[in-house]
Amino acid sequence: RFLIKGGLAGAAVYVAYDQGLLGSGTEGAEALKKAQETLPPAIQEWTNYLGWEVRAAQLPPTPKFDFSLSDSWNKGVHTVMSALSVAPTRACEYTAEGWKYVKDLVK
């Protein structure tokens, strides 16, 4: 069971790497564009093969992503750095509050 799961995970990583999803942002955008162009015809082909009648109007349109990976990454880096910069101050505040609480309990 472990080997099967490991093999599937390895295959997924290989496919993602092979399609350019693990590369730069432009490679990822190209892969997304390629998937958006390929997916609707593939769905239509499979529904025809299986004998299902699916009209083009019934299929939802492919979603439009207005997502910038670099902006999200930068926002995450700024958030983490902001949290790390105030961590010593917050630690001192929480320590002082904890000592005050313990002193009040001892009284």
pLDDT tens digits, 2-52: 888 888 888 888 887 777 777 777 777 777 777 777 777 777 777 777 776
Structure-token pair, residue 45: 């082909």
Domain total in the chain:
1
- Residue 17, Cβ density class (10 Å: 0-12 exposed, 13-18 middle, ≥19 buried): exposed
Single pTM value for the model: 0.33
Domain boundaries, position 69: 2-106
